[in-house]
Structure 1
């Protein structure tokens, strides 16, 4: 027994000696050896656990994502931490923000997404994790701080993802020390690389590189530095890197990047044609993205040079011309073909229907024409995306009984010709998520089956057709829908009950009748855009939108749960009632149009405080009364205010014409107006309807016309330097036109007609070089009409009509001092004074004449001497006396 024990001890000693020899041979520290715990799993090293806790202490974690990181716990079980089963060392740290954003509640999701972002400082304590080979910090926000240089010290790192992480500044060249790196993603930050030639080539093992939106414009010879990229690369994304150059200067055709499988150089300002040899050595290329550059040339010639097994091709938003080649049908590996927004023409070859792998096809915004039939889709069994919009001469003609081989998810056929009948093939497309068939010439009743088929729809647009029918009483079954646009059709019936997820609803320009339903009270909690304008709605808004009882007290404030609305239009109906109190809770509201209704009462003073984002306020043609609240001046982003055709009274307060957004171009705020929202502005003597966010954003207008406003025009109005339309006509304004009006240097339309303004027209008006419309008619203006510069272009006398004391071109009345005879009586403040002057002068003249001439008539010698004297001096004094007499009379008249 003892002998057996001694033998066992000797065996153990031999084993320990062998282990020691091995450790010495491979230089493995004894401290790195850990005891295998029960269950076959290794616990983390204390040193590495402390390093992770120090890292946690230095960063910001508002939602407590790292709550599992606790002192005394096994760090290998912490969230985002992975240890080696063999050594127990931390080898993987994955802290990317994995919150999913759902479109149907985008704003709420974004709040939650940002709340889960990590931030703050990344401390060097992580250097203690020497065996780290995987680091992912993507989709966080580190506040534009620089990427820590010490990351270049992780010599075992193979995977590094810092995309969408809010880093800024220059990329540290120390990243070039990561010689084992296979995957590097620095995309979509605020980074720049002054000299990426110095560190990128050292990453000789790199297979995946994404530097999208890294500014490479300051890189020395950045385009030719592409030759220095590692030959091992299989994926290269340099999307939107400011690599401004010609395509012919690209060295890729002579580089060693022959293993590239995926290449995206989109949004880089490359211009010109693609050289013949640019892509021919990339035989393995499956994805090519050259979108949003300035690529020119024939599409057929370009496609000849593409690798035959290309799977994804994006050449959108360039200047490619020509017709799609017939050989397109031989590119059978194609899965996605994006050619939108070019200048392609001709017919779509029917052979495209042979691309059995095609899943996405986008040919929109071109000049394609002809017929699309069933043959174009014959074998497209995998097609999910179909975009053919804005090819105005493209017509889809299929058999009414045709059942497509595909199940589409995303469809945009707007501005193609689909009508006059509603396309019945849609009935088979039960998986549709986005359906856009705007302006497609459909003149038909909406089929009863339609609403059941699109039960999964998220985005629906059937606008600008002549589709008729009654909207269903409820659309709640469209539970995933977030935007519905049915404007400019012939739908009738009432406003349906809507789904809670809906963010955008546009039923404008239809024949919707009745009142706004009570159900809207709950639905406005998710709505962001609501347009019910140009319908036949009547009555008052629901009490929940107008009554103070619908609000709840919250820290002494009145708020309403929900209130995400940013755009609301009820214009052109017959709605009545006072200004809706509901809007008091809509702090994100930036577009409000209640014009052409029967609203009444005073304008609430809380508009200026409660609606801080308001940029467009249109209340034209209602029955609002009382004063214009001076608190409106607190709306820093307001640059369209239309209160015309109401019963507003009082004066225009100086502070009221001090709108910040009308004084400077940069004060526009954070608003977005979709293209389907319109805004009616009366300018240049006519009602103009403005569409699209770009055009609306450039409009700046102040219209207070046709009210009962009194007093003077404030001199402060001259500070509205970006104002383009000013209309104060049809009021009772008095006083002079302020000289400061010359400060409205952006003004294009000015209407001050039908007021009681007097005095002279200020000469500064001629400084308005953009002015193309002017109306000063029917006031009490006097004096000479200024001329020069822009005013010389106004030759219509009617713009000055009704001002009897104006003179000069373009009206027929002449002014004194121009060598012509005056054709209007002199006007003094006291008319009797002038009459007395003429009477006294006449009597004096008669008496003087009788004193001189009387004696001459009775004394002949005196008369002979007198007339001789007169004959001698007559010639000398005739001209002098007559002309001076005339000058004297003229001076008297001027006075």
Structure 2
């Protein structure tokens, strides 16, 4: 409450006030705090404060001998409005921390008069313009300008006197580019950067020539920067010791920069470019490699697990890789995410998974893998995503145990009725079990109900027979169920009406029969297409009457002419929004689930 801060307004000689992370601090910042002219440090971060700060800053600017404040931290609140030009009266201010608020509008032009400023952090706001006066901050060492809505043009004037600048974070909160760099090729900046993190800005069309003398760089991120062509030799000859090199989402081509030298726990991201040729490898220090959505071809290097043994994340999806999965991947004991989908890989899935105990994301969909699914996958106690759809797999013998909720940062691509949806924000993920479009046969095991925290189950486009197990109704957090295009028969189990969180159901093109349940969630499933191709089914929403029924009473048609624009595309967007609902559920087989071609109950590991 604002009264807490008012209590301090009479302490004229107060020099430091730190009330960060205090649940009692809420409301607007009292103007009276601006009268504390002797205060050097004010920290109010991570509270529930709101409103504008103009009156507070004006109060400080009226101090007869000038404000003494050197460190102002108002981050992670709900402060709003524009920063006033009067902020420049804080002539002694060295550290200005305003991240994760609701500030909007331009950075004041007068900021160039704040010659003592060493660090600024405006990240996570809605600010839109960077003035040329910014380039006069000769003491500035770190500029945090990420996650705003920047627009306009950045020129040499914006950096003219930033001789001490070491860290530059500048990117937008969306991939739409409205900020461009207009810097002459021969310009030599006055600074020596350690970190450059520029995203969703136009730096192109060529790799920025003004980095030519930046031989102290440790972190290089030029992501979604409209850069094309090759990375120049002069950059590779800077002999940098990098902990991160991210040039994803550009149009870079030529040879991947394999000569770069990396420090421990390094990250390499070349995703979504035009690189081709064999898959590149780097030094053993690299732990995260993202090479997805390029044109790499040929086999995965057989020694990948030996050359980069400390890998935790490997994404080589959406390329043209061929051949088998190398056995050396089994040496990656710290691997947590393996994504090799959308390639042309063949052969059987190796059985080395017990050597990779921390794997939580396992995505091999859209390849030509064959054989059975090895039982050693059952040892993956951290598994969160298990996606093997669209292969030629014929069997499964897996026992998965319960695990705790995990947080996933990065991107995830899922398939809904053939449409790929990609999510690139931080997500608390629902567990996914996807074996669609394979050659699985036999019955769905009743033990499937032991995946008690499963959020997504997709077994569509296989050869499964028999009835839907009645125990499937025990999956009470299930949100998506797709059993379409199999050979399932019998009734829809009445117990499925217990699936009260279900928001997407597809049972089409089977041999199901009997009356469609109408209780709970089934009352909301008004689209006949989710049941089509089952000639034995009857009842709402189908037009076919069940024996003893009168004329069916249909709910309003959600697909009438006036709603034609709200068909498959929009409906899928709604149905798959569950991925960002923060559920983070668990996959866990307590029993053994077996999908086996030809009834072989003892299929060996591949």
Name the TM tier (shorter chain): 0.7 to 0.9
| 1:688 CA drift (Å) | 2.8
Aligned to 2:416: 683
Name the SS of the counterpart of 2:211 in structure 1. helix
Aligned to 1:352: 134
Q: Does 1:590 align with 2:336?
A: yes
Aligned to 2:576: none
| 1:630 CA drift (Å) | 5.3
Q: Distance in 2 between matches of 1:310 and 1:243?
A: 27
Aligned to 1:636: 381
Number of residues paired by the alignment? 542
Q: Distance in 2 between matches of 1:599 and 1:399?
A: 50
| 1:466 CA drift (Å) | 0.5
Q: Does 1:752 align with 2:483?
A: yes
| 1:453 CA drift (Å) | 3.0
Q: 1:584 to 1:513 in 2, by over 3 A?
A: closer
| 1:381 CA drift (Å) | 2.2
| 1:382 CA drift (Å) | 2.1
Match of 1:244 among 16, 25, 36: 25
Q: CA RMSD in A?
A: 3.3
Aligned to 1:867: none
Aligned to 1:370: 152
Deviations 1:789-810 (A, max 9, x none): 4334444434333322222333
Name the SS of the counterpart of 1:764 in structure 2. helix
Aligned to 2:295: 511
Contact 2:315 2:340 in 1 (8 A): no
Q: 1:699 to 1:683 in 2, by over 3 A?
A: farther
Aligned to 1:734: 465
Q: Does 1:501 align with 2:285?
A: yes
Aligned to 2:83: 299
Aligned to 2:194: 409
Q: 1:744 to 1:308 in 2, by over 3 A?
A: same
Q: Does 1:430 align with 2:215?
A: yes
Q: Distance in 2 between matches of 1:361 and 1:438?
A: 18
Q: Distance in 2 between matches of 1:659 and 1:388?
A: 43
| 1:648 CA drift (Å) | 4.1
Aligned to 1:471: 256
Deviations 1:188-242 (A, max 9, x none): xxxxxxxxxxxxxxxxxxxxxxxxxxxxx9xxx96566579895x6555444344
Q: 1:751 to 1:432 in 2, by over 3 A?
A: same
Match of 1:660 among 378, 392, 402: 402
Aligned to 1:763: 494
Correspondence list, 1:650-729, <5 A:
656=399, 659-661=401-403, 667-669=404-406, 673-675=408-410, 678-684=411-417, 686-692=419-425, 694-695=426-427, 697-729=428-460
Q: 1:283 to 1:800 in 2, by over 3 A?
A: closer
| 1:480 CA drift (Å) | 7.3
- Give the alignment's TM-score, normalised by structure 1: 0.55
Q: Distance in 1 between matches of 2:511 and 2:302?
A: 52
Contact 2:315 2:339 in 1 (8 A): no
Name the SS of the counterpart of 2:72 in structure 1. strand
Deviations 1:568-625 (A, max 9, x none): xxxxx21315xx4444444433322343443423652x63x44332322223345555
| 1:718 CA drift (Å) | 3.4
Name the SS of the counterpart of 1:469 in structure 2. coil
Q: Which runs of 4+ in 1 moved over 6 A?
A: 227-230
Q: 1:616 to 1:529 in 2, by over 3 A?
A: closer
Aligned to 1:268: 47
| 1:299 CA drift (Å) | 0.4
Contact 2:117 2:140 in 1 (8 A): yes
Match of 2:322 among 550, 574, 577: 574
Name the SS of the counterpart of 1:774 in structure 2. strand
Q: Relative CO higher for 1 or 2, CA cutoff 8 Å, sep ≥ 6?
A: 2
Contact 2:276 2:295 in 1 (8 A): yes
| 1:438 CA drift (Å) | 0.6
Q: Distance in 1 between matches of 2:309 and 2:359?
A: 19
Q: Distance in 1 between matches of 2:152 and 2:440?
A: 59
For structure 1, the 5+ residue unaligned runs are 1-216, 537-572, 662-666, 822-895
Aligned to 2:360: 615
Q: Does 1:815 align with 2:572?
A: no
Q: Distance in 2 between matches of 1:790 and 1:684?
A: 21
Q: Does 1:600 align with 2:379?
A: no
Name the SS of the counterpart of 1:246 in structure 2. strand
Contact 1:505 1:530 in 2 (8 A): yes
Aligned to 2:510: 779
Name the SS of the counterpart of 1:382 in structure 2. coil
| 1:627 CA drift (Å) | 4.8
Name the SS of the counterpart of 2:530 in structure 1. helix
Contact 1:432 1:454 in 2 (8 A): no
